[in-house]
Amino acid sequence: MSEIVITGGNRLCGELSVQGAKNSVLPVLAATVLCNGECVIHNCPKLSDVDTSLKILSHLGCRCKNENGTVITDGTSACNYDIPDTLMREMRSSVVFLGAMIGRTGRAVISSPGGCELGPRPIDLHLSSLEKMGVTVCEEHGYLNCIAEDGLKGAEITLNFPSVGATENIILAAVTAEGDTVIHGAAKEPEISDLADFLNRAGARINGCGSDTVRIQGVKSLNGTEHTIIPDRIVAATYMACAAITGGELILKNAMPPHMASVLWLFKETGCRVNISGKSIKIKAPSRLCRVPTVRSLVYPGFPTDAGPIATALLSKADGTSVFVENIFENRFRYVDELKRFGAKIKTEGKIAVIEGVDRLSAADCKSTDLRGGAAIVIAALAAVGESRIGEIHHIERGYDDITGNLAALGAQVKKE
Ligand code: EPZ
């Protein structure tokens, strides 16, 4: 199995362009199933999750190709309504195809996505919302068989938790449903607004994304269109942490600072100098990072749960003790044991991690536990003295486009073996 090998201690300095957002491109690719015509999606990151999504699109009957980061796909001939178990297992977030498949064919059959590295990840909010829209859901032998006998109908839906995936699935089911749909308590993440921008460009009528209440007027059909995926705010935070923990200086181009307010706050709290100029973010690390008394993950626009592992790795080298509270997922600290191999002093209790900053990390051999946990391990390895080897890097490659190439370009001593 491949490994990432990092000899830590180099200051990371330079310029980097932020990749397209994984959590935007996945729902947008699912949405193309609904479009009668060619869709051209620019700024798609080169990720295994994008590759898996293209396999799903082909399986559903879409003609699709990836031309060096621009995906061209046409949902006109999409007729299948099942996702093979192998592909569901490859990418848990395939569940976002549910609404689009039902919208296109009236049916969807997927294997229950089950839990993942972050703990149990139920989809009860997805299913109960779709049922309100006229879908019957039968679960048998680990498969979910969804049928909209009389087609999808608009409905008034209240989410008791602003689930990102559930909000996306409701929107995808509602855009060509009969009648209007209102979502109360919708998730407000920028990736949802990006999905809505794409769909509206294709002829949908969606209002209110980014607020608690989203309104969708069902239309007869959607046409093909062109779209550019927004920058990935979590990847941007990751590279900022790589520079900050190594005492470096980084300019991020093609970022979206307004999507990163809570993350930029954290870097400033650690003593980094952060300057914004349009779509560029410049960060300069202090000689020693300051601790941050408490960081809590919250739904957007609060501090993103996906940046929790990034923050924890960063604060492991701060001067003093910080506390991170994970409020979104039940079991998102599996990477902490790996960070401790570098000499990090972190204690976790339930949803709380107490991070006692150390002034030195030392190299270690470890394994990525999940996507963002893997990124946290890379951050620690860049600061650790000596050569570290990181295994299970497929987790990292799900969300980071050419992470070794980008880090090497910033001066890191890194290679993939
Ligand atoms: C999306 O996951 C992202 N994934 C996650 O990013 C991100 O961490 C998460 O949103 C929160 O921002 C993609 O967009 C592909 P949720 P999603 O539904 O949709 C509970 C990464 O690192 N819940 O908002 O699965 C759930 O168990 C990934 O890129 C229910 O209880 O997140 C969790 O505790 C990791 N029932 C919480 O809500 C449901 O029906 C947040 O889930 C749905 C969710």
Q: CB atoms < 10 A from the CB of 143, how many? A: 15
Q: What is the pLDDT of residue 115?
A: 66
* C-alpha R_g of the chain: 21
Residue 89's pLDDT band, with cuts at 50, 70 and 90, is: confident
Ligand 1 in reach of 164 Cβ (< 6 A): yes
The correct CATH number of 4-19+231-416 out of 3.65.10.10, 2.40.50.140, 3.20.20.70, 3.30.70.1230 is: 3.65.10.10
**Mean pLDDT to the nearest integer, 287-300:** 98
Tell me: the pLDDT tens digits for 325-359? 999 998 899 999 999 999 999 999 999 999 999 99
Tell me: the pLDDT tens digits for 13-32? 999 999 999 999 999 999 99
Nearest alpha-carbon partner for 407 in 68, 44, 10, 45 = 10
Alpha-carbon gap, residue 325 to 304, rounded angstroms: 11
For the CA of 189, the closest atom of ligand 1 is: 12
Q: What is the pLDDT of residue 102?
A: 98
Side-chain half-sphere CA neighbours of 223 within 13 A: 4
Tell me: the pLDDT tens digits for 152-161? 999 999 999 9
Domains 4-19+231-416 and 22-228 share a fold: yes
Which token pair is 91?
A: 């990418």
Tell me: the pLDDT tens digits for 197-241? 999 999 999 999 999 999 999 999 999 999 999 999 999 999 999
Q: How far is the CA of 299 from the centre of ligand 1 (A)?
A: 10
Side-chain half-sphere CA neighbours of 169 within 13 A: 29
Ligand 1 in reach of 172 Cβ (< 6 A): no
Give 351-389 as a 3 state SS string: CEEEEECCCCCECCEEECCCHHHHHHHHHHHHHCEEEEE
**Mean pLDDT to the nearest integer, 368-378:** 97
Q: In angstroms, how far is the first alpha carbon of the chain from the final one?
A: 9
Q: Is a pLDDT exceeding 80 seen at residue 42? A: yes
Ligand 1 in reach of 125 Cβ (< 6 A): yes
Strands 156-158 and 180-184: parallel
Q: What is the pLDDT of residue 91?
A: 87
| Catalytic-residue membership of 116 | yes
pTM of structure: 0.97
Please give the C-alpha separations between residue 101 and each of 178, 197, 202, in angstroms, as whole numbers: 16, 20, 17
| Average pLDDT value for the chain | 96
Angle value at C-alpha 81, between 78 and 83, nearest 5 degrees: 110
Pocket test for ligand 1, best of 19, 22, 23 (most atoms within 8 A of CB): 23
**Per the omega criterion (within 30 degrees of 0), is the bond before 301 cis?**
yes
Q: Is a pLDDT exceeding 80 seen at residue 120? A: no
Sheet holding 180-184, edge to edge: 156-158, 180-184, 213-217, 205-207
**Mean pLDDT to the nearest integer, 109-135:** 88
Q: Kind and range of the H or E element at 23?
A: helix 22-31
Residue 162 three-state SS = coil
Ligand 1 in reach of 238 Cβ (< 6 A): no
Q: Is a pLDDT exceeding 90 seen at residue 114? A: no
Which token pair is 105?
A: 């064919």
Ligand 1 in reach of 23 Cβ (< 6 A): yes
Q: Which fold has domain 22-228?
A: UDP-n-acetylglucosamine1-carboxyvinyl-transferase; Chain (3.65.10)
Q: CB atoms < 10 A from the CB of 260, how many? A: 26
Residue ranges per structural domain of the chain: 4-19+231-416, 22-228
Please give the C-alpha separations between residue 383 and each of 235, 242, 394, in angstroms, as whole numbers: 18, 8, 22
Q: Any alpha helices (H) in 223-370, and if so which ranges?
A: 233-245, 261-269, 308-315, 336-340
Q: Is a pLDDT exceeding 80 seen at residue 150? A: yes
Which one is catalytic: 35, 39, 64, 116? 116
